[in-house]
Structure 1
Amino acid sequence: MKKVLILAYDFPPYNSIGAQRPYSWYKYFKEFGLYPIVVTRHWDNHILNPIDYCKASTQRNIQCETDEYGTIYRVPHTPNMRDRLLIQFGITRFSVLRKILTAWYMFTEYFFPYFDAKYGIYTQANAVCLQHDISYIIASGEPFLLFSYAHKLSKKHSIPWIADYRDGWSTNYNNTKIETLFFNKIERKIISTASHITTVSPEFVEQFHAISNKQVHLILNGFFEDTPLADIQQDSSQFVISFAGTLYPYQEIELFAHATTLLPQEIQKNIYIQWIGLNFYMDQKQRVFTLFSKNASTYIQHIFTPRIPHEKVFELLQKSSILLLPASANHAQLYAKIFDYLRVHRTILLFPSDNGTLSHIITHTQSGIICNNSTEIAQALERLYAEWKSKGFVSCNSHNIAQYSRKEQTKKVVEIITTI
């Protein structure tokens, strides 16, 4: 059985979309005839906020685990000076100094291992290549330092590698002009040596093709179809609406907030909104809190949770009657949360239409409602509330979702790998 080295920074027990993607390869590769070996950071179980994310691993030695799926090497994490300042003094103090250090690390970590806090992953991956007969390497970014590691390992050991983009690198919307120019040159050099490129969203395909002049394969995120769901019904005592995961600045949650002010008071008093995991993103939590405090109904109840285990997320989603999917007409992006939403068969409320992949999935699976303004959202909420009030639940007759399972997407990855 040929061996695949997977370089992944995010990986369970760390709970993120970025961790689930490489874990799905680890879980299913063996079923399709490949043996996965993962090199990742050692993660502790208590990552509840950005400061926890930066802390040193409690385990200080490299751990090797082998189970029915494959082998995992977990490399201890040691925070750099910037992160030590954050851990010791909090997010408000020394912010200018931390920004200076962030810029310093950005310009040096690709060239000098001393300034690369993740370099232990490269060192262990190199040891794996020396110890095992590795046939392929796949690196999932960001962090895009993993692409650099895969590039070096490929050149050193003559092993083909695949670049898996979960987001933009030089094209990331968060980049400054200087960052875009700096990363563009590095990205083009590194990506030129990749045998294949994969990405998570149709909206990224042309973007990465333009950078690499290579074919870019679409591998969606998906959901774990073989993970059992608890038998949990919708809450019949409250009209529960939920949002799970990351909220980006360009997602137009303002449309929904305004829509709630257009609802009759009876409906407002029965709405209970769960913001699942938003405590991890304090700036966006504050955005939502401020938005609803100033511009929306004061009758609506809100609860914000920290990051919680994936199975607990599903339980909260199952109790919900509506799942919120704010989008942007000007910034098309395929949010991975849509696949977890599909998994629990609850009505999805997409707003506004992205005129792209999200709208296509909602329409193709008949899994929800697409609205373009606050008035349409309010009208949809009134209809759904009337159904919930009458029956104690909101019907969702979604179908055609099997193609979005993580196993099906992993099968596509294997087909790409075995063409090398």
Structure 2
Amino acid sequence: MAEQLIKHRLVFILPYLNVNTTSSERFKSFIIAAESREDTEVEVITFDYGVSHSFFKGLSFDNVDRFEPKKHKVLKPKLNSLQKLAFSALNKGSKLWRVLQLCHLLIYGRDVFYPGSLFNYFEKGNQPTTIICSGSHFSFFDCAYQLAITYGFTLVLDYRDPWTFGYTAIDGFAFVQKLKVWYGRKKELKFLQKAQLVSTVSQSLKDFFPKHLRQKVEIVPNGSNFKEGDIRPNPLPKTFNIVFAGTLYQEQLSEPVFFEALQRFLKDKERQQIKVQFVGAGNSPALKVISEKYGLSDVVQTTPRLLMKDFLTYMNQASVFLHLRFPSKKGVIGSKYLEYLNFHKAILLPQSDEGDIAQAIGRDKAGFVCSGADDTLVALNKLWERFITKDSLTWENEVSAESAITRDEIARSFIAKVMAV
């Protein structure tokens, strides 16, 4: 009688799953790749903090393309009083949320998402086990570390953003980053030393880690959320649609270069033919202010996070895709770049980041890397000329092997590396 196969157990500890974000799509791809293996038993742990949406990022937990792993535990953490206040503020769109998050860090040495010990919810089991934990929220790393140390599990840490090694969080404050370093650097080093494998999304972010630990850091980039059958770009859209997809951060609006160029671009145009669509950006007060300042409120549109089928409509009808840099950061390319690339329209970067975004656009011959409002105006007028003469707006980019890899391929490769540790 053949021996029964003892499956390796992979346990994912994740902040969320059913939210329309790139990070959620990354998690789903990892889970699907793991569940497809016959030698693997997959468990997924996520957390319910009683938050239904985020006013700051336009996220909703209702209007989403839902995904359910085969084995999924949703835990309701026992929150302390400060956490309860913080999540209540987040749900109401109050900026008190940031203050309470900072207070929690100062008092408890952990971010407000810390769910407490997971031992009461966790069965050790008899088979070999690997914990895969993704940040940020980096307090989850603490939970995963505790389990790995106690039970001798393999530990894999997946970084999407830097923690204490790297830049200040997007739209964050420098003094808060200093506090994170003060409170978290020793912890992070301890977790990194314990981890058998660490992953991050780009070479730029890998280079932030200490040199003596980089040999265990693998680059696992974000891929496009769309499959080939979803991509049906219209070469001759009825209106000239400038599309920005996904989360819009206040830091990206700190430079008015694009809006200055757009104001000038519109002077001799029929404005009803032009739309600037911030798709999935949600309610952005900063965008409203800058649109009003430059007299653009009639052409600038925003939407909340959308279901994939609705999001696809905007992507397929785009005339040009807008990329905005983070002025203080060169290593943030964002997953939207690969999504833009696959829809074969020009990508417009109004101000070069002199880093990952500019390098990628140049490498793939994907559009325009500009050095200010004058360059941006020239690029917009070139594309407008093609629009009004009904010349195809399809952009003949030269996609590199690095950019062509799909999210599914990335996930399968990552899980194979996890299993080989």
TM-score, normalisation: structure 2: 0.82
Alignment of 1:342-381 (within 5 A): 342-381=341-380
Q: Which residue of 2 aligns with 1:293?
A: 292
Cα distance, 1:224 vs structure 2 = 3.7
Check 1:172–1:122 CA distance in 2 against 1; reply closer, same or farther (3 A cut): farther
**1: distance between equivalents of 2:395 and 2:159?**
32
Aligned to 1:119, what secondary structure does the other structure show?
coil
Q: Contact between 2:133 and 2:158, CA under 8 Å: does it hold in 1? A: yes
Is residue 2:258 matched to residue 1:261? no
Cα distance, 1:73 vs structure 2 = 2.1
Check 1:321–1:20 CA distance in 2 against 1; reply closer, same or farther (3 A cut): same
1:323-361 residue CA offsets vs partner (Å, 9 max, x unmatched) = 100114641112111122123222211232223322232
Q: Which residue of 1 aligns with 2:75?
A: 75
Check 1:257–1:121 CA distance in 2 against 1; reply closer, same or farther (3 A cut): farther
**1: distance between equivalents of 2:233 and 2:329?**
35
Alignment of 1:285-324 (within 5 A): 285-294=284-293, 296-298=294-296, 301-324=299-322
**2: distance between equivalents of 1:229 and 1:305?**
20
2:47 to 41, 50, 63: 41
Is residue 2:23 matched to residue 1:26? no
Is residue 2:124 matched to residue 1:118? no
Check 1:213–1:297 CA distance in 2 against 1; reply closer, same or farther (3 A cut): same
Bigger Cα displacement from structure 2, 354-363 vs 311-320 = 354-363
**2: distance between equivalents of 1:337 and 1:89?**
28
**2: distance between equivalents of 1:411 and 1:3?**
16
Cα distance, 1:259 vs structure 2 = 0.7
**1: distance between equivalents of 2:133 and 2:101?**
23
Q: Contact between 2:236 and 2:393, CA under 8 Å: does it hold in 1? A: no
Check 1:182–1:367 CA distance in 2 against 1; reply closer, same or farther (3 A cut): same
Q: Which residue of 1 aligns with 2:275?
A: 272
Q: Which residue of 1 aligns with 2:4?
A: none
Cα distance, 1:197 vs structure 2 = 1.3
Is residue 2:12 matched to residue 1:10? no
Check 1:17–1:111 CA distance in 2 against 1; reply closer, same or farther (3 A cut): closer
Report the residue type matching 1:209 in the other structure.
P
Aligned to 2:404, what secondary structure does the other structure show?
helix
Report the residue type matching 2:267 in the other structure.
Q
Is residue 2:221 matched to residue 1:220? yes
**1: distance between equivalents of 2:405 and 2:375?**
28
Q: Contact between 1:245 and 1:337, CA under 8 Å: does it hold in 2? A: yes
Report the residue type matching 2:306 in the other structure.
I
Identity of aligned residues (%): 18
1:20-75 residue CA offsets vs partner (Å, 9 max, x unmatched) = 111110112244664432211259996363599799x9xxxxxx9654xxx32222
**1: distance between equivalents of 2:266 and 2:91?**
48
Aligned to 1:242, what secondary structure does the other structure show?
strand
**1: distance between equivalents of 2:93 and 2:360?**
41
Report the residue type matching 2:259 in the other structure.
A
Q: Contact between 2:156 and 2:195, CA under 8 Å: does it hold in 1? A: yes
**Aligned-CA RMSD value:** 3.4
Q: Contact between 1:51 and 1:87, CA under 8 Å: does it hold in 2? A: no
2:129 to 135, 141, 156: 135
Report the residue type matching 1:136 in the other structure.
T
Q: Which residue of 2 aligns with 1:61?
A: none
Aligned to 2:194, what secondary structure does the other structure show?
coil
Q: Which residue of 1 aligns with 2:156?
A: 162
Report the residue type matching 1:409 in the other structure.
I
2:138 to 132, 138, 144: 144
Report the residue type matching 1:141 in the other structure.
G
Check 1:261–1:84 CA distance in 2 against 1; reply closer, same or farther (3 A cut): closer
**2: distance between equivalents of 1:202 and 1:177?**
24
Count of residue pairs brought into register by the alignment = 395
1:199-230 residue CA offsets vs partner (Å, 9 max, x unmatched) = 11221111123584653211101114547416
Check 1:345–1:74 CA distance in 2 against 1; reply closer, same or farther (3 A cut): farther
**2: distance between equivalents of 1:233 and 1:66?**
35
Gaps of 5+ in 2: 1-6
Check 1:187–1:305 CA distance in 2 against 1; reply closer, same or farther (3 A cut): same
**2: distance between equivalents of 1:50 and 1:264?**
30
Q: Which residue of 2 aligns with 1:244?
A: 245
**2: distance between equivalents of 1:261 and 1:43?**
43
Gaps of 5+ in 1: 58-63
Q: Contact between 2:25 and 2:225, CA under 8 Å: does it hold in 1? A: no
Report the residue type matching 1:75 in the other structure.
L
Q: Contact between 2:58 and 2:304, CA under 8 Å: does it hold in 1? A: no
Aligned to 1:220, what secondary structure does the other structure show?
coil
Report the residue type matching 2:242 in the other structure.
I
Aligned to 1:326, what secondary structure does the other structure show?
coil
**1: distance between equivalents of 2:242 and 2:34?**
36
TM-score, normalisation: structure 1: 0.82
Aligned to 2:210, what secondary structure does the other structure show?
helix
Q: Contact between 1:250 and 1:331, CA under 8 Å: does it hold in 2? A: no
Report the residue type matching 2:299 in the other structure.
Q
Report the residue type matching 1:159 in the other structure.
F
Q: Which residue of 2 aligns with 1:411?
A: 412
